[in-house]
Amino acid sequence: GRTVVGGRRFFPFGMFMNEVLTPELAKTYAEGPFNCVMNYRHASRADLDLWQRHGIRVIYPLQEAFKGTTLEFTSDAGADRWFADRIRAFRDHPAILAWYLNDERGLDCMPRLLEHQRLAQTLDPDHPTWSVLYQVPDVSRYLGTFDVMGSDPYPVGNSGDLNQVWDWTVGTVKGCRRLKPVWQVPQAFDWGAYWPDKADKTRMPTRDEMACMGWTAIAGGANGLVWYSFSPLKKMDG
């Protein structure tokens, strides 16, 4: 279940974000402890070059390659052409770590997810695909649609029970039949960034809580951590 980059073991440790990339942003991010990033904004080759200069590997977002998404595809065929074109354009770039294929989509999307996995494996067998679900009991039903799986428990300000991180990680590992790597998505944001009407009742996880969530995920079997998310932190700070 370990990731290998350049012949050496690599533990993915990064964050999600939804930001227009600038040199200042890349520099700020790279000053942290991170070695990878999953930015929902679709990187250009110049963006990948910038991340590479800072030693950051990129998980490239392809999860919107569906008819009717914000990318406004009018057909599945058009979405698939975009999907394949992105992989062909960037598969040779040394900054690429993985392709992000599924962001919490339901089982009704299974035919499309299977096709995307087939396309990715055919076009680029050298980089894994990654999916993230909250539907932990259904993980085993998604087998065949990913190389790496993750789940995203965010208990602080929601359920309040940090044991959720253990339960979801162990459930995800078991759902993968212990055959697939698991890159977990721990919480690094205040729910108030998304629920402004509840902002007075939510809070940011403490440093100790984040450390607890990260180490709990690792103890439960995680082979990587990609925290959610840089953008709400930036929003609250600004």
pLDDT value of position 199: 85
Percent of the chain's residues with pLDDT above 90: 89
Structure tokens, 53:
């200069």
Q: Is the peptide bond before 229 cis (omega within 30 degrees of 0)?
A: yes
pLDDT in tens, 138-183: 999 999 999 999 999 999 998 889 999 999 999 999 999 999 999 9
Backbone angles phi, psi at 174, to 5 degrees: -65, -40
3-state DSSP of the chain: CCEEECCEEECCEEEEECCCCCHHHHHHHHCCCCCEEEECCCCCHHHHHHHHHCCCEEEEECCCCCECCCCCECCHHHHHHHHHHHHHHHCCCCCEEEEEEEECCCHHHHHHHHHHHHHHHHHCCCCCEEEEECCHHHHHHHCCCCCEEEECCCCCCCCCCCHHHHHHHHHHHHHCCCCCCEEECCECCCHHHCCHHHHHHCCCCCHHHHHHHHHHHHHCCCCEEEEECHHHHHHHHC
Confidence check: pLDDT of 238 > 80: no
Predicted local confidence at residue 159, as pLDDT: 86
Residue 200 has pLDDT above 80, yes or no: yes
Q: What is the CA radius of gyration of the chain?
A: 17
> What pLDDT, on a 0 to 100 scale, did the predictor assign at position 2?
92
pLDDT of 154: 97
Confidence of residue 68 (pLDDT cuts 50, 70, 90): confident
Taking a C-beta distance cutoff of 8 angstroms, is the pair 172, 206 a contact? no
Contact 128, 117 (CB under 8 A): no
pLDDT band for position 219 (cuts 50, 70, 90): very high
**Residue labelled with tokens 């629920």:** 195
pLDDT at 237: 60
